[in-house]
Amino acid sequence: MRRSLVSLCLLLAVVALQAQTTIDTPVATVRLTRQEVISQRSLKTDFDRLETVAKRKLTPEERRQVLDMRINNALVFQFCEREKITATDAELNAQISNMRSQLGPSATDANLEQVLRSRGITLDLKVWARQQVLLQKYIQTKQADRLKAIAQPTADEIIKEYEFNKKDYFLPEMARVSMIYVDLKDKGAEDRRKALETLNGLSSQIKANPEKFGEFVTRAMAGGMPYKASSQFTLPKTADAVRAFGQKFTDAAFTVKPGRVSDPIESAGVQLTGYAILRVEEQSPEKFLGLADLIPGQNRTVQQLIQYKLGMERLQNTLDQIENDLLKQLRSEATIKIVDEKLEF
């Protein structure tokens, strides 16, 4: 019996060793300045990351794309080593911080990792940041002339872009309003009764003296009052506005005449749940913005926005082409061997 148990343990050890050997089998080797192996184990990690986000298995074509990306990454890093293009820790941290800030003030590195995976990028965050910094330095130092050669959009191109996408510059009816309100989110019936009583009292004083509205707004913004205030914000006549403030609130913003003050109105939206008194400052009809019109909330015209967008598209196209040209050059210089059958595991 003892001999059988020993034999069984040895057999299990051999099987485990074989399994480990299989998962470490080279799928590809890459050599530009030095030999680099891409193993099944490392690819499995990449596949698992992407499959977790996609919630499905990768197709054979997608697996090959992941392998191609790994080869490209290896070539870029070896090329930068050869050309003595380096990245400091401070530069890597700045790159990560910049992209994280684009996700919002509360974004974390984990959120950023998730975004990378959703884009099919399997690199660890710091490795990805290093790659980006290195490519930026390569472009700035070796390809600056191609960036300088990017032509600015012409007037005809801007006009053509505007005409083709004119619907994107449509403005719905807009109302600019100020309000005094009581937020009743998660409050009970007694709080609702008190809030309505407070606003009815304010409403009576405003009807007797319209100047009181501004006084109440000032006192609310100073704090310590049983109500709050918001001054001069713009509300579009859209379904999103109804979801944010409720139908009654939105209707009042477009039916109360400019300069007039509403009675207390119930607000039942995701942005405000409670009661509010509105003063309508201004209403504007729906319209298409012209090229010379300022975009609401932005300190630029439609023409300036289109010029910027076209310029950024050309810059991105040039950057993509520079990267593709570099990879094509490196693949022609490097020795790359792929064992296709080892990609299936």
Q: In terms of Cα–Cα distance, which of 261, 343, 278, 306 is closest to 157?
A: 306
pLDDT, tens only, 249-302: 999 999 999 999 999 999 999 999 999 999 999 999 999 999 999 998 789 999
**294: β partners:** 301
Q: Lowest-pLDDT range, 8-22, 118-132, 145-159, 265-279? A: 8-22
**Is 30 in contact with 71 (CB distance < 8 Å)?**
yes
Q: Is residue 133 included in any domain, yes or no? A: yes
- Cα 254 from chain centroid? 33
Do 183 and 122 share a structural domain? Answer: no
83 and 18 housed in the same domain: yes
d(CA 210, CA 113): 54
Range of the domain at 277: 173-285
Whether residues 112 and 217 share a domain: the answer is no
Domain presence at residue 168: no
Which pLDDT does position 344 carry in this prediction? 84
Q: Is the pLDDT of residue 315 over 80?
A: yes
Measure the CA–CA gap between 319 and 136, rounded to whole angstroms. 9
Average of per-residue pLDDT values in the chain: 91
Q: Which of 267, 285, 303 is the last residue of a domain?
A: 285
Tens of pLDDT, residue by residue over 183-233, are: 999 899 999 999 999 999 999 999 999 999 999 999 999 999 999 999 999
Do 135 and 199 belong to one domain? no
Tell me, what CATH number does 228's domain have?
3.10.50.40
Q: Residue 181 belongs to what H/E stretch?
A: strand 174-183
pTM over 0.85: no
Same domain for 226 and 140: no
Q: What are phi and psi of 12, to 5 degrees?
A: -65, -40
Within-domain flag for 302: no
Structurally, how many domains does the chain consist of?
A: 2
Burial of 182 (0-12, 13-18, 19+ CB in 10 A): buried
Per cent of the chain over pLDDT 90 is: 85
Residue 296: inside a domain: no
* Shared-domain flag, residues 249 and 324: no
Band of residue 5 on the pLDDT scale cut at 50, 70, 90: very low
